[in-house]
Amino acid sequence: MDERLLSMTTAISDALARPVGVDAIHHALRTMPQAPGVYRMLGEKGDVLYVGKALNLKKRVTSYTHVSRLTERLRRMVSETRSMEIVTTHTEAEALLLEANYIKRMQPRYNILLRDDKSYPWIMLTDRHDFPQISKHRGKPVKGASYWGPFASAWSVNQTLNLLQRTFLLRSCSDSEMQGRTRPCLLHQIHRCSAPCTDRISREDYAELAAQARSFLAGKDPDMREKLGREMEQAAEALEFERAAAIRDRIRGLSALQQDSSVINPSSVSDADIIAIWQIAGQSCIQVFFIRAGRNNGNRAFFPSHARDENAPDVLAAFIGQFYDDKPPPAQVLVNQDLPELDVLTAALSLRRGRKVEIIHPQRGEKRGVIEHAALNAREALERRMAESAGQAKLLQGVADLFGLESAPKRIETYDNSHIQGANPYGVMVVGGPEGFEKRAYRKFSIKGPVTPGDDFAMMREVLERRFRRALKDREEGVRPEDWPDILLIDGGAGQYTAVRGVLDELGVTGVTLVGIAKGPDRDAGREWFHTADRPPFQLPPRDPVLYYLQRLRDEAHRFAITTHRAGRSKTLVRSELDDIPGVGPARKRALLKHFGSARGVRQAGLGELEHAPGINRDMARVIYGFFHPDWTGE
């Protein structure tokens, strides 16, 4: 028998022999321990269908064999199961934390999913410096700094940071910027910095400002405004009017910081997250307010993905587990539902925080008023989203009617390029769909091939080849079918359309409607020509909502291409010859530039000077010196 046929026959036999559905679960139960842990249901290609946790794995997984007692969603999940994997833990609380981590990383389609890929901003104040710096920080904490937050958005942290600068006059510039200044910057002139860079303030006085800022951010000095008021009066009595005016400005900044902008904070809550859910027609919105040190750090709305029959307590409990997977919970979490398995969830959050956490469903008093306010915000956000989705659905159906699609498109990909005379070329892809612009699906393509100035066809060819080469393989294997576009929109006329059509045909891309949108006479918006396969070029009425929508897609791709190109160009501009020295990474580069002032200073430095530079040992100094002096023999 032919080897290929034999291999295929063997693969089919193996596939048929593998247990499916309930049989696969019974097979896994043979070795399932009666211990706490996390289980994963796997599909035909090893993809994760569902992640769950249990106090007793064997008892919990056995429940999936009673199919008649399961919901329709879970019956579908069981029917697709081909195998299972488990991880045991010491406690059910540890299992819950591990479950939340797996769900966020693996995004199994039968779980309730929190789609939140953004890090939260914090306020950072450096510790190990004579003049501490205050700034916004995202990502992992660094040593030698204190943090306050999180804040709901960049806007909320920027507003707070501006007021903190007005109140405490702390510098926001980097250490290198501070050391390189010879006169105060604009922030000092607008009374938002005390200018330690030019010795306008002593170390002792600056340390006092930093201590006041730490105390205020920690909520430990509620009488600070009264103290500043007394200092202002004393300065005025001593006829030190400039100092009195400066203190007055600080008091105004402090008053603005202490004002409540979004929600009435109860006096009994100083460190808490207020989390409320609202459901309409099988959709959910969860509103989160961040309260820290008695101040409101802003709020955010979340729209978790789940089956329409999921009830509010289950959705909220799953949300909380995933929400605190990458951030420490506060001392209290106020919710508007009685949560299932409350003790386990509370223990898991306490384990995550390292201290006790309370999850409270307030029934009366000021805390109930606050949670009702959050629920009202959740309801209004969900109503707005549903109204926008209805309008978006109408637009997408209009796009389907315009281009002859059988149903409204779920994914529209728009492409554009950006470069300057062939330098720093980038191509981009933006994605639109039922939820509007799907920014998590945006992609950047740094063009690797040589680009002739003006040759956008070559750039587009490389972008499409890189986009669809992997997508075609995934499509054959049935992986990520949601990533396949219904419409591919390009900015260009007949020539661009023909070139892209040729590339797609070469790659074997089918089932995608290609549309070219060309600017009209004098590049006027509203007079665009559309190019498709089945009809001659045409225009839409200037006030057509579908035209506006397609223009928005094109303009978003153009905006993303320009910002991507500018970011890439900026990186190129900050490069120096130090980047080419073996063993010199970003940290050593910063140290050298800080010590010698410029790359030129490093190049002109002697071997002895290099050896005494911070962070540079004798061997590294010889490498750097030899790089700039290729004729040097090392003697």
Tens digit of each residue's pLDDT (9 = 90 or more) over 65-91: 998 888 888 899 999 999 999 999 999
Give the SS3 label for residue 86: strand
Phi-psi region of 530 (alpha: psi -120 to 50; beta: other; left: phi over 0): beta
Give the SS3 label for residue 157: helix
| Beta bridge partner(s), residue 146 | 125
Segment 414-427 mean pLDDT = 76
CA distances (Å), origin 305, targets 109, 114, 127, 318, 321: 9, 7, 41, 11, 15
**Tokens at 17, concatenated:** 């022999």
Q: Is 49 exposed, middle or buried (0-12, 13-18, 19+ CB in 10 A)?
A: buried
CATH code where residue 334 lies: 3.30.420
Average pLDDT of the chain is: 83
Q: Is residue 184 part of a domain?
A: yes
Same domain, 175 and 289: no
Give the SS3 label for residue 25: helix
Q: CB-based contacts of 482: which residues, under 8 Å, 6+ apart?
A: 410, 411
pLDDT above 70 for 265: no
Segment 91-99 mean pLDDT = 93
Same domain, 155 and 17: no
User: Among residues 221, 236, 259, which one ends one of the domains?
Assistant: 259
d(CA 418, CA 441): 19
Q: Is residue 401 part of a domain?
A: no
Same domain, 225 and 285: no
**Tokens at 225, concatenated:** 């405004």
Same domain, 486 and 549: yes
pLDDT above 60 for 16: no
Least confident of 51-60, 95-104, 258-267: 258-267
Q: Which sign, positive or negative, has the C-alpha torsion 8, 13, 14, 15?
A: positive
* DSSP 8-state symbol, 198: G
CATH code where residue 606 lies: 1.10.150.20
Q: Is residue 457 part of a domain?
A: yes
Q: Is residue 554 part of a domain?
A: yes
Pairing of strands 283-292, 271-280: antiparallel
Give pLDDT tens digits for 233-244.
777 777 767 667
What pTM was estimated for this model as a whole?
0.70
Same domain, 418 and 552: yes
What's the N-to-C CA distance of the chain in angstroms? 72
d(CA 192, CA 67): 66
* DSSP 8-state symbol, 266: -
Segment 561-575 mean pLDDT = 69
d(CA 187, CA 184): 8
Domain count, the chain: 5
Listed residue (115, 121, 162) closest to 141, CA to CA = 121
225 and 254 in contact (C-beta within 8 Å)? yes
- The residue with greater pLDDT, 356 or 634, is 356
Give pLDDT tens digits for 184-242.
888 888 888 888 888 888 889 898 888 888 888 877 766 676 777 777 777 777 776 76
CATH code where residue 452 lies: 3.30.420.340
User: Among residues 259, 289, 323, which one ends one of the domains?
Assistant: 259
Same domain, 508 and 598: no
Any idea which residue has 């994914």 for tokens?
A: 411
Give the SS3 label for residue 403: helix
Same domain, 485 and 553: yes
Same domain, 554 and 439: yes
SS (H, E, C) 504-519: HHHHCCCCCEEEEEEC
Q: Is residue 417 part of a domain?
A: yes
286 and 322 in contact (C-beta within 8 Å)? no
Same domain, 380 and 443: no
Same domain, 519 and 622: no
Q: What is the pLDDT of residue 222?
A: 63
Percent of all residues in the chain with a pLDDT value above 70, rounded to a whole number: 86
Same domain, 346 and 285: yes
User: What is the H or E stretch that residue 83 is in?
Assistant: strand 83-88
pLDDT above 50 for 100: yes
Let me know the angle formed at the C-alpha of 326 by 322 and 327, rounded to the nearest 5 degrees.
105
Model confidence at 96, pLDDT cuts 50, 70, 90, reads very high
Give pLDDT tens digits for 38-66.
999 999 888 899 999 999 999 999 999 99
**Tokens at 524, concatenated:** 């006027």
Same domain, 289 and 216: no
Domain range for 614 is 577-628
Q: Is residue 266 part of a domain?
A: no
Q: CB-based contacts of 6: which residues, under 8 Å, 6+ apart?
A: none
Q: Is residue 405 part of a domain?
A: no
142 and 127 in contact (C-beta within 8 Å)? no
Q: Is residue 148 part of a domain?
A: yes
Give the other-Cβ count within 10 Å of 401's Cβ: 11
